[in-house]
Structures are given as C-alpha cells and as structure tokens.
Structure 1
Amino acid sequence: MSFVTRHLRRLTMALMLASASLTAATAPAWAEKVLHRGNGAEPETLDPAKSSGVPDSWIQYDLFEGLLIPDGSDKLIPGAAEKWDISPDGLVYTFHLRRNAKWSDGTPVTAADWVFSWKRLVDPKNGAKYGYFLWVVKNAQAINLGKLPVDQMGVRALDDYTFQVTLERPTPYFLSMLHHHSTYALSKTNVEKFGADFIKPGNLVTNGVYKLAEAVPQSHVKLVKNTYHPDAAKTPIDTVMFYPTENLDAELKRYRAGELHITYEVPVTQMQWLRANMASELRLAPYFGTYFFAANLTKEPWKSNKDLRLALNLAIDRNILVEKINQRGELPAYSFVPPGVAGYTQQVPDYASWTQAQREAKAKELMQKAGYGPGGKPLEIEILYNTHENHRKLAIAVASMWQQKLGVKTTLNNQEWKVFLNTRDEKKFKDVVRHGWIGDYIDAASFLDLARSDIGKQNPSGYSNPAYDKLLDQATAAPTAEQRAELMQQAERLMVDDVAVFPLHFYSSKHMVSPKLIGWKDNLLDSHPSRFLDVKE
C-alpha cells in the first residue's frame, strides 16, 4: 500500500469519525412525541367554570387537574388531592392537596385557589352555566340563586394544603363529581391579575400535565408539557394538538392521510365503508349520553299544549334513526336517563312497547285533539341544529317523518356552534332545537337536574313543574340510596309524561383510533386524557 493510499484512508476515517461525533453532539437525545386529536367544534371557552361542550372538556382534561381525575378506563384516581377524609356523618370532606403541585408558572397550587374557584363558580354575577353543579355544597344553591352572599359557601382552606368542603346533606356520589371541569381550580392570583383575559395563551396558567401554548381559531389548540407538574417526566406525550373540525368527512380524510391519531367522531355517510375496510380502527362503544330534541316550552304553542308535543314525539321512528341513518350502535331512546346507572330503573313509557304504526295512529289522534292537522290549523315548525353533517341528517329524517305522518311543514336552520349555544341557552329558538347531554358523572341526577325549573340556562326546553322540583329535592334529602332512586324514578316518569323533551337515542362513542396509539380504552364517559396515552413511531 502506497503512502498516498494510506494517507487518504486515514484522512477518510478521520472525516467519518468527525462527522459521527458532530452528529451525536447535535442530534436530540429523544424525539418529541406529538399526539394529534380531532376535536369537533371550535371550543366555546377554556374557562372551566363557563364552558359546557364536550370539545372544551377534552382540552380541559389535559390542561387542568381536578381533586380526582379520570384514568381513561372509567376509574377515578387521586389528582390534585393525594388523599381525603370523610366525617362519620358524611357531611365534611377534607382534601389533602399534593404539596409538590404547582401552576404552570411555577407557583404553588394552594387550598385558597380551590376556595376562590368554587366560590367563583356559584357566584351568580359570573353567570356560570354550571353554577348549579355544586349545589350539594352547603349554601351553594342559595348563593347561586342570589339569596345568600358568596362568603357563606361551605368551603374553606384549613391551611395552604388542606381544602375542606361541607355539604348540605350526605351525598354518596360527591367524589364522582369532582373530575368534572366546572370543579377545577384556577390560580386566584392569575385571574385577579388578568381579569377576563386570564384565559388567553400567554396568560393562562394551569395545574395539569399540560399548559396552553397556542389557540388559533378554526385551526388548532396546542398544548405542551407543564414541566412543573410532578408527573410531567413520566408522561409519554410531549405535545398535544387539538384540531376543531365540524366537517366530519374532512376530519376522516385527515385521519386517513395520517394527520390525526384520533377523530372526534365519524361521519354517518361512511359507516358501511368503514366497517368493511377499517373495522380494526373503528371504535364504537356505549356512551353515557342522550340525544334529544327539545320544544321551546317558554313559548306557545309548546308551553301549554302537551298533546301537540306528544304527537310529534310519537311520530318519530327511532329505529329508522339508529338503524338506517346513524348505523353506529346507538339504542333508541324513549326515556331521558341512559342505561348504566347502578340501582336505577329507566322510566320507559308504555308507548315504547307499541308498534310504530300504533304510535303514529295515536299521534294523528292527538294532533286533531290539539287543534292541528286535517280540519284544524296548519302547523309549521323550525328545527334548529348546530352545523354538523350528522345532526343535519337526523333533522332531515325527523322533519320528513313529521311531514309524512302528520302533515307538518318543517324547515331547518343551522348555526355555527358558538352562536347555536347562545340561541339554545337563551331560549331564542323558534320551535324545536337539537340537543344532547353527556353525563358529567354516572348518576341519574346528572340528567334529571337539567329539567329543574331553577337550573337556569342548562334547562334544555324551559320545562317548569313544581312537583318535579319537589321530587328531586326529596331525593336529595332521602336517607337511603333505595329511597333516593325511587324518588328520582318518579321524577323521570313525570317529565316523560309531560313530554319535557323528545328523546331520540342513547349515544355510542364513535372514533377512528390509529394503530399507532397506545393506551386507548373505551369507557362509558368516553374520557381519554392525553397523559395516559402514548404513540409509537
């Protein structure tokens, strides 16, 4: 071997070693893991006290940490509270907070923050839709209804890390409520510093595993790790991207292109194709929710014409809706509370066992009795729904049934999500509105409370019946679980008999889930915090 050849080989080897050394020095020690999630409509707000939609809650599960948190498999585990004590009489809950918990700005999370946040939720001046959620706490209902000052609420900080709650009466399901976003804590210092702007990126501080990095309307919400969270280091996902996409066909296209790990939903128009071609990635499971229509009971003719409401309710063929329109595993609904509540019997009306022909015959009879139809007044109805292909198809189907069976002229009106929420909540819709409710916790009260006359904006139809309210008050004070269940069952029977709403079907959760996603578990509340998921490359 010549000198030149040896020299060239040594030079080549030196360059290779230098290159390898440079690559090792400049390459990251780990690759960032990013989770891409479809998320339905644009979030209404990320303020946990003022939001009400499921798209908001998916983001809030990641940003905030409740006293208890869902583990993604229908179980609740300690969150901001590492443990708690319950007094022998079941009235006082003492929560011992994690002493190493910090807000995403590095300041400690204290009991004073929890006291501030719970009082903020029930304070009527804040207009929180979920103000009623903590009515089980001592004096909270009276405060929320403007009858007592907020400082009378049964919450206090015993010290920086001990949060104590006194209830009006023993509430066995109280702990199961505490994963809900309305009960999350906010930084008192941060809210007071920024006022209404505390929720904006750059201002918002949170106590969850993630913090808010970006929120671009109609584009995305980006979350990154809150490095101050005690569990941040052992959380696999570094960045979570939420994409609002109301067009489900567009969302599915993004999923099939590999741009999403999870879809928010699946389009009904693609169900047969998905079952045939992507069955292993299609996830359908029972979901603790009810899809329904609500007539505006604050207006005539709906307010005082029960026969008219029942006629429309009977004319809806629910089997067609779930088997021909949706095709996604839902169950027809004739009652309001969905299945899944232990110790509670759904209150199904007699006509649920009739044939559809029998229901339609009765509907025609009731229409005439109400003064509408052949020989009576013509009836024109507007159905309001939020922009969404699946909601549109159901609205078209129901409108067609009312037209064909009862001669009702029906028009459809769709609105963008935030506008729709305001129209619905303020009872500004003309006739009938699309609605759906997902249980906040697995108990009948999570549904039945909505029909209380004093609940405010969350009451879907404006239903008001003192006898109904009294039954729920009695249920709340019942000494045994059996007595409580019986009183709630009586209340549901009453609202079903009054046709407070038109139940259509009980929900199923429906997602496309990538084979790259690790840790997804179907569960009745359809909660899947990103901290318990992972992605494989």
Structure 2
Amino acid sequence: MNRNNRLALLVLAVALSALLVVCLVGAAFVFYVYSSTGEPGMITSTPAARSTVAPPTVAPARPRAGQGQTLVLRPLGAPLTLDPHLVQDADSAEFVVHIFGGLVAIDENLKLVPDLAERWEISPDGRMYTFTLRRGVTFHDGKPLTAHDVKYSFERALDPNTHSPVANTYLGDIVGARDRLTGKAGEVAGVKVLDDSTVQITIDAPKSYFLWQLTYTVAAVVDRANIEKGGATWADRPNGSGPFRLVSKSSSEIVLARNESYYGSRPKLGQVRFLLTGPTMQRYETGDIDMVQVTGADIARVTDPRNPLNRDLQVADQFSLTYLGFDTSVPPFDDMKVRQALARAIDKDKLASVVLKGMASKADGILPAGLPGYNSNLRTLTYDPALAKQLLAESKYAAAMPSIVLSVMGSGAAPVGLPAAIQEMIRQNLGITIEIQLVQSDTFFAGLYAHKYPMFITGWIADYPDPYDFLDVLFHSQSELNHGGYASQELDRLLEAARVERDETRRLALYRQAEQMLVSDAPVIPLVTGRDYWLVKPYVKGVKRPPLVIPWLSGVSIEE
C-alpha cells in the first residue's frame, strides 16, 4: 500500500502521543500524519474521540457471550476507497484484499499462489501467460465469474476515465496497456479471452516480477453489472469474489461477513467489525474490542512485562520504508553534497529509539530486512556531524543556502514528532533553518504527483516481496511514483537490465548495485522501517500479521 502502495500503503503502527500515523500503500505509501492532538490517525468524516485513562485491570480473556465468530477490532486507519482499481494506500488495501480476488495472490508464507486462476502456463519466451480459472467460482451474489470479467476488469483499470493512479505502474507491461491508458485504443490488445474459463495475457518483454504485480488490487476482478448499476458510488456496495463481503460501511464502522460460497478455504469468522472512531485502549481493556492497534501513547505500558497487557502484545516487522525525499532539480537539492550532508546530519538511531519510542528500526538502505535482495553490507551515509559540515562546505551552496521548506502530511498549529526532530538535528549540526509545511491529507497526494514539494517526508510499504517494487517503482526516471524527479541514466540502465534478467542471482546483483547508487547519491534519505504493534485477546486464534497487505483475516478464529 502511494503503494502508492499505495498501497502502501499496510498499516504502520508507529505513533507518538503527539504523532498521528496513517498508512497509505500500494503495495503502497506509508505516511506519518502529524498533529498536536495526539489521536490515532483516522481519515473519516467523524473525528476520533480522545482516549481516556485506562482502567487498572484487563477484562477476562474469554469471548463475550453471544458473540460467536464475530471479531471486533480497532485499526489506526480507515479506507479512502473500496474501488480496487483506485487503491493507493494500505488502509484501503486491507479491506479490498478481503472483498475482491485476482488471478493470483500472496499467501501467509509470502509465496505466490493461485487465486481465481487455478493454474497458468508461461510461453518459452516468457511473454505470454495463459490462465485457467477455477470451476464454479462466483461473485458474492452467486453470479458466475468468467474470463470475460477478467478482461473487463483489466480494461476498466486501464480506462483513462477510471483515473487509476496506479494502473500504469502495475499493468503497464501488458501489450496495449498504454494505448488504452492514453485513449488510443478501446481495448487492451494483450488481454484475450480464449473461452469462458481461459484468459491469455501478453507482456512486452519477459519480466520475472509480472505475476507478483497481478497480486496488487488494481488487477482485482470486478463485476461490470455492479459498476454500471451503482454508478459513481458502486464501491459502497461492491460485489466481489473474495473471502469476505461488505455488509455495511459508515464513518464510524465497517462490517464484513464471511462469503459462504468462497472458492478457497472458507474463513472461520462469521463477521468482522472494524471500529473506526471512539476510544481504543479503554474499550480493549473492558473487553469491548478483541484486537487494537497500539500507538505511541500506550507503547510504554504494553511493552512493560509487568503490565497485564503485555501478555496480549503481538509485534511484527513490516516491509516498509519511511524516507526524506528531495526534488533533485531544485536548489539546493540539485547538489549531491548538500543531500549527503543532510543525511550525515540526521541521527536515525535516535529517531527510531527516542522519537518513535522503539516502534521502528533505523533504515540504512531502501530495501527492508527480509525482502529478497536486501543487502546488509551497503556503504551507507552514517551519522557524522563533522563530515556533514565538511560536505556542506564543499557544496556550491556553502556561501548562500536557499530557503528550505519540508512538506509533510498533517495538521495542527505546530510540527511535532519526526519532522520536528529532523528539523532540529539539521539546525544543530549544520546551522540550517528549515520551515515545516503541514499539508492536509486531501491535497498532499496531489502535491506529490505534481512535484510541488522540494523536500518531503513520505513512505512506502511493499505490494509484493520483490526489490522491483521499491527500487524501480520509486526511482526509475520514468516512474510516476518518482516524486523527487531523480534521473540517472546509469540507474535506469541497471533497473532496465534487472527487469528482463531471468537468472535470479544476476537479477538481485543488479538491484544491489542500483540500491548502492541510490544510497550514495542520496536522492532520498532512508529513515526508518516500521513495526506492527497489536493487542490481541487470548481467545482470538490464528492472528499472523504479515509484513505486507494480504487477506490475513481468513485464518483467524474465536475460541468458544
């Protein structure tokens, strides 16, 4: 879950008492939303209520009478959309992956597995994929799902009238995709229906990551009749094919129910209630909520082994990155030495351990630990104030530094948390004064795409476990998600070679070279990678929070 990934953008539970977190994915953006209110970051029409002091005891570890297989949970964020072809944040993706299905999916072991397609064949040249759909698969209303629905879904995602912010990023390798996006063609030439249960997709070159891209929500299969009948608000009543169906949606609560005709392993939960507003920890401690995402306001007590809440704590690392980005065409960030000086002036250990209260880990590179291609031997720009001063003195802006504005998504009278800490570190170590601009969430995305911000804080959470999803998607000179406009012919050469390299060892070696170049040139400064903190009642079984967005609720149950 922009995972843009968008998704970006899966839920990153890193918050301070004065720091809001909204995880926006694709595959994902991860965004910190800053405010002076101290509340969990929620994008709803109803403001979240301020938490009250928690009671001293925790409710008995047993399900509430009469609740059966109903799970009640309180995430930090709410979805911006339930239209899978428009999703670019992790909060939306969390819901969409449970409501819709695609040809392929990612399982809890982060393996690529069949979903709507029971099998596929790849041509010897690696360009043609022939998918055979499962027999008897249906939408939630019982209507058969066929190859014609698959073709319609790809063509709708790539229709310029859909205005998908991510279709080109994830589906652009399909032959004819860009002609459809630009309005030059009425259909996608590379998607063909062979019969009701067989669809063939042809891409422009052999690319080992292509099947992974089809796990993103923009490749989800939608019901044409549902969209045409529902009009602009069709996604408020989606007719998907995933393990859960939408029962109701409001600014305060979203309810999902099990899809009784699901083609895969049927979920054990009958219903899931997502509470989007109101007090959190108090309701967990009184037994009204089964799962709650932890913010920085409560991290000290839930990590204290002497506190009863600690027994319910589950922590999982994420494939996510929060970074400081620069528009490298704008002074002073067009000078590599200025960017390197800023990197050397920021103490990332303090950001992770003090500012973020240990709810994140220092990031040395672009790829998070555990992701294929991760390199623990990167030559990094470590914290070194003396060297930072030297680099700044060697830059072309040593005598006259232009004014610098740092843009972050948030609200409030004064900046706090991560941006305020970075502002102060740069002032102390380099003598540079930075102004912080807080931008409302409804305009921040547009500003990123329009390259309005010379300096900004944003983030990314993996859509799928492949280095392409970080290095190429975020930094190729022609990528729509390269928000700093960084352009390097050498980097493009490495990334383009990795796209078509079919030997995995050589492919990962190319990505390691690309990552080293990015870390050295510093078009962005990696700051932290995220961790997921949840409190889970002991009677809730099967919770395995993944490092990226997948339909994890399918394996959860309530112990009666």
TM-score by length of 1: 0.82
Give yes or no for the alignment of 1:287 onto 2:318. yes
Change (3 A) 1:476 1:76: closer
Distance 2:128 2:483 in 1: 33
Residue 446 of structure 1: how far off its partner (Å) = 0.6
Pick one of 184, 190, 212 that aligns with 2:220: 184
Contact 2:463 2:549 in 1 (8 A): no
8 Å contact 1:509–1:526 — kept in the other structure?
no
Residue identity opposite 1:162 in structure 2: T
Instruction: Report if aligned partners of 1:72, 1:532 keep a CA contact under 8 Å in 2.
Output: no
Q: Partners of 1:154 and 1:214 in 2: how far apart?
A: 37
Inter-partner Cα distance in structure 1 for 2:542 and 2:172 = 35
Q: Secondary structure, in 3 states, of the residue corresponding to 2:298?
A: helix
Aligned residue type for 1:121: A
Q: Counterparts of 1:469 and 1:150 in 2: how far apart (Å)?
A: 31
Letter in 2 for 1:251: T
1:62 aligns with 2:95: no
Q: One-letter code of the match for 1:235?
A: P
Q: Percentage identity across aligned positions?
A: 27
Alignment correspondent of 1:477:
500
Q: Residue 258 of structure 2 corresponds to which residue in structure 1? A: 225
The answer to whether the Cα contact below 8 Å between 2:381 and 2:520 also exists between their aligned partners in 1 is no
Report the alpha carbon displacement of residue 236 of structure 1 after superposing the two structures with TM.
Answer: 2.0
* In 2, Cα distance between equivalents of 1:41 and 1:344: 29
Within a 5 Å distance, the mapping from 1:25-424 to structure 2 comes to 32-131=68-167, 132-140=169-177, 142-143=178-179, 146=182, 149=185, 151-201=187-237, 204-217=238-251, 219-230=252-263, 234-244=266-276, 250-264=279-293, 266-276=294-304, 277=307, 278-297=309-328, 299-302=330-333, 304-328=334-358, 330-342=360-372, 345=375, 348-352=378-382, 356=383, 359-370=384-395, 376-377=400-401, 379-386=403-410, 392-424=416-448
The count of corresponding residues between Structure 1 and Structure 2 is: 488
Given candidates 452, 461, 468, the residue that maps to 2:484 is: 461
SS in 1 for 2:92: helix
> 1:31/1:290 Cα in 2 relative to 1: closer, same or farther (>3 Å)?
closer
Aligned to 1:495, the other structure's residue is in SS state helix
Greater Cα offset, 65-74 or 438-447:
65-74
CA RMSD of aligned residues (A): 2.8
Cα pair 1:155 1:166 within 8 Å, conserved: yes
Structure 2 residues without counterparts, runs of 5 or longer: 1-65
Report the CA distance shift for 1:93/1:346 in structure 2 as closer, same or farther (over 3 A).
Answer: farther
How far 1:344 moved relative to its partner? 5.3
- d(CA) in 1 for partners of 2:362 and 2:246? 39
Equivalent-residue separation in structure 2 for 1:410 and 1:253 (angstroms): 39
Task: For residue 148 of structure 1, report the CA deviation from its aligned partner.
Answer: 5.8
Change (3 A) 1:526 1:490: same
> Aligned residue for 1:493?
516
Q: Which has the higher contact order (CA 8 A, sep 6+)?
A: 2
Please give the secondary structure, in 2, of the residue aligned with 1:126: coil
Q: What secondary structure, in the 3-state scheme, does the structure 2 residue paired with 1:263 have?
A: strand
Alpha carbons 1:387, 1:414 under 8 Å: kept? yes
CA distance, structure 2, for counterparts of residue 444 and residue 160 of structure 1: 35
Change (3 A) 1:414 1:257: farther
- Aligned partners of 2:372 and 2:467 also within 8 Å: no
Cα distance, 1:416 vs structure 2: 4.5
Letter in 1 for 2:84: P
Higher helix share: 1
Matched with 2:536 is 513
